[in-house]
Structures are given as C-alpha cells and as structure tokens.
Amino acid sequence: MKSQRNISEFILLGLSYDQNMQIFCFVLFLFCYVALLAGNLLILASIQCSSLLHQPMYYFLSHLSFIDICYTSTVTPKLITDLLVEKKTISYGNCMLQVLTMHFFGGTEIFILTAMAFDRNAAICKPLHYVIIMNRKRCHLLVLAAWAGGAIHALPLFSTAIGLPFCGPNEIDHYFCDIFPLLKVACTDTYITGVLVIAFSGMVALVTFIVLFVSYGIILFTLRNLSAEGRRKALSTCWSHVTVVILFFGPVIFIYLRPPTTFPEDKIFALFYTIIAPMFNPLIYTLRNSEMKKAVRKVWCPSLFSKEAQS
C-alpha cells in the first residue's frame, strides 16, 4: 500500500471557515450528540429492563438504538473536536477505519429498519399468525442477517477506498472520510469506480427504500378492514417508522444515487443521516408510543408509575 500513496494524513475542510459559525456548530452538535446518546441509551435501558424486550418491535428498536449510538459515534466526536481546532486532520488509517465503520453501521441500520417494517407488516396484515411468523428464532435471524448485510455492504466499499492511490492533494471537502470525497482526491481516473459504487451502495439504498415503501403501502391498504381504534393505533406506530425512514433514506439516496461527483451541499445532507436522524429516533419512537412511554416511566420513575397504576 505504501507504494500507492505518499501521504500519511488527510485535511478535512469541515463545514465552514467562519470562526463564529464553527463556535455555533460546536455548541449545537455537542448538544445534539449528548441528546442522541441520552435518548438512545434511555430507550435501550428501558427496553432491556422491561417486558418489552420480548416483543419483536421493541427487540428491533433496542438494536436500532444501539446501532444509532455506534453509527453516529464514528463521525460526530471527530466533527465536534475539529470545530475547536484550526487545522482539521485525520490519519490515513483512521480515515479508512471511518469509511469501514460508517458504512458497516449505516448498512446494518438500513436492514434493521427493513426488519422493523417486516414486523409491522406481519402484525397488521396477518395478526392471527403474528406470533408464529415473528417468533424469537426468526427475530434473532433477522438481526443476524442485518449485521451480516451491513458487513457485506461495507467491505467492498472499504476495499475500494483502501485500494485507491493518493499522491496529493490531500484536502477532503467534507467533515468525515467517505468514498466519494476520497475518489475526488485519488490520483487516478475514478469514474468507473464511482459508477460501481453507485451501482452497489446507491442501489442497495434505493431497493431497500422501495421495499419499505411497498411494505407500508400494503399496510395502509390493509388498514381499511380495521376498526377506527385499530387504525389509530396502527397508524401511530407506522408513522413513527415512516418518519425515521424518510429522514434517513432521503439524504442517503440523494448522495449515493447520482453521477459520481461531490457538491458542497453534500455536507448538509450528510448531517441528516449521521446526526439529525439518530437524534430524533428516540423522540419519534417514544413520544408517539404509549407502551414505550409507560416502560420509561416504569423503569426510571417506579414510584410515579405505581401511583398512576393505582389511580
């Protein structure tokens, strides 16, 4: 590998050159990261310490919260610390590690969201067979498949990134290492490589999004046969999932499913799937879910929960 590159680090240009804007972003993203950690840890602990863990939807949700913590931690701490320094650098090794871990956890999150959609589809469209369809063994297999899918998604992209020759310049117009910004600074023709990345990574996101869209379309069609109360409860759960899917997949498809190039706006769109969506996931799933709110109160405010139960 040393014969293919003569650089040991990359310079990240970050979000902005303005000092005041960097201070504002530091405060904002530090708050977002703390809120993200607190919210997802709250959900993770509440599910693990309650009977909700035995329900497939919350079993998947606990894995989603864990993945969100890991996924955003591959990028956000580095972004926050870089906002305090003038020269933002990342070593070659850490850059390649960031590409690997980000796409691994990002790919796993895509497949966990798919498993959650499958669970809701089974619960609403086939309620009488739901317990048989979503048995514990199948839930474990779906989670295992999601982690394996994340690895299958990440390894080819990692191999592509680590095989690129870098001979200068070494400035990446982004706040983290990703495949398209790296293709831009590689000292070789990367057009064909970029097309292959789109064909692999972009199509994975697009096909998964279409599957999710069709799945929720089938759910909405099935809701016609439910009572008003049944529709309300089902929609309350499904809208939470749909909101998360749109927040995550919209920016991902914009960046990874287009001609292999980069735009300044990519950094703003990347904020949605690296920080904003993982931060809002706990709020979306907790505020719109009575069972989740009840579990949080039972685990963290047992005395208050017992008084409410008695009343």
Mean pLDDT of 78-103: 92
Residue 3, pLDDT score? 39
Q: Identify which has the larger pLDDT, 292 or 287.
A: 292
Residue 300 DSSP SS3: helix
Q: For residue 26, is pLDDT > 90?
A: yes
DSSP H helical ranges for the chain: 19-48, 56-73, 76-82, 92-125, 130-133, 136-162, 179-185, 191-197, 203-222, 228-256, 266-271, 277-287, 290-300, 302-310
Residue 86, pLDDT score? 85
Percentage of the chain beyond pLDDT 90 is: 32
- In tens, the pLDDT along 221-250 reads 887 776 777 677 667 667 777 888 888 888
Neighbours of 12 (CB within 10 A): 22
Q: For residue 177, is pLDDT > 60?
A: yes
Residue 12 DSSP SS3: strand
Strand order, beta sheet including 89-91? 89-91, 9-12, 171-172
Mean pLDDT of 291-309: 65
Of the candidate ranges 18-32, 51-65, 249-263, the one whose mean pLDDT is the lowest: 249-263
Mean pLDDT of 116-121: 88
Residue 293 DSSP SS3: helix
User: 63-73 b/e with 16+ CB inside 10 Å = b?
Assistant: bbbbbbbbbbb
Residue 137, pLDDT score? 93
Q: For residue 100, is pLDDT > 80?
A: yes
Of the candidate ranges 106-110, 225-229, 245-249, 302-306, the one whose mean pLDDT is the lowest: 302-306
State how far Cα 284 lies from the chain centre: 14
- From residue 239, alpha-carbon distances to 59, 235, 246 in Å are 18, 6, 10
Claim: this prediction has a pTM higher than 0.85: yes
State how far Cα 110 lies from the chain centre: 7
Q: Identify which has the larger pLDDT, 240 or 163.
A: 163
Q: What is the mean pLDDT of the chain?
A: 84
